[in-house]
Amino acid sequence: MVREHGSLMKDAETNQAAWEAAKGAAYGGVKWGAFFAVAGGVAYAFSPLYRGLTVQFKTYIQMSAMVFGGMIEADSRMVKYQLAVRQQKKLQTDMAAWRAYEKEFEEHGTPGVASESNVARK
């Protein structure tokens, strides 16, 4: 659905998607940052090449890993969120169609069609 008018700041679904992406980015940054911190320590211990790098370049490598991990995890969470929202909306439309179908049968006087307990013959 394309939004033509209105503020995206007031849309609850957009805000929820943004929060999911932000949580994914933070989690991915921490996870990949920790992994590269450990990998950097191992590389420092065993690689004379890594020891020769400047602090600025090591920081750049660490930050690059954190940003990359944040992007990967944010995208992953957005895909999962989008799938969940699609499933929820499909369930809602299917339930609305089913309710209309049940109502049509009830109007014709068929008892016991609806799944609710308040079905009675008119």
Is 112 inside a domain boundary?
no
Q: How many CB atoms within 10 Å of residue 74?
A: 20
pLDDT level of residue 111 (50, 70, 90 thresholds)? low
Is 122 inside a domain boundary?
no
- pLDDT above 90 covers a percentage of the chain that reads 54
Tokens standing for residue 13: 């679904």
Q: What is the DSSP letter of 10?
A: G
Is 69 inside a domain boundary?
yes
pLDDT level of residue 11 (50, 70, 90 thresholds)? confident
Asked if the model's pLDDT at residue 114 lies above 80, the reply is no
Residue 44's pLDDT is 85
Is 1 inside a domain boundary?
no
Is 75 inside a domain boundary?
yes
Q: How many CB atoms within 10 Å of residue 120?
A: 9
Is 16 inside a domain boundary?
no
Is 30 inside a domain boundary?
yes
State how far the Cα of 70 lies from the Cα of 81, in Å rounded to an integer: 16
Beta strands in the chain (DSSP E): none
Q: What total of structural domains would you count in the chain?
A: 1
Domain that holds residue 68: 26-107
Sequence-separated (6 or more) residues with CB below 8 Å from residue 46: none
Give pLDDT tens digits for 31-78. 999 999 999 889 888 888 888 899 999 999 999 999 999 999 999 999
